[in-house]
Amino acid sequence: MFPRKRAKNGGLTSRDAWKQSLDWADRILDGCKKLGISATIVLENGFPLDPLVGYNQTSPKFWNNPENRMMLSNAVEIIYW
């Protein structure tokens, strides 16, 4: 999944790109399940979701910012609800 790329290329908000990425992953996993295929979805350098930030979750800047940690928590919460 590439929500940052989806946001940038599609002119979407980061939240809309995240939702579209999750919907896409859900469809892929449903299709794989119907075919008896095991699948793994990888989120590649996907946080923060806003592509204009200029860094990703591999940067100390990401982890040192409480807003980024909260955004990550909220994004994960969307998956489980």
Q: Token pair of 81, please?
A: 């609800």
Domain hosting residue 52, numbered range: 3-80
**What is the Cα–Cα distance from 3 to 15, expressed in whole angstroms?**
9
State how many domains the chain has. Answer: 1
Phi-psi category of residue 54: left, alpha or beta, with phi > 0 → left and psi -120 to 50 → alpha: left
Q: How far apart are CA 62 and CA 56, in angstroms?
A: 6
Task: Give mean pLDDT in consecutive 10-residue pieces for the chain, a chain of 81 residues.
Answer: 82 86 91 93 74 84 88 74 59
pLDDT at 38: 92
pTM exceeds 0.75: no
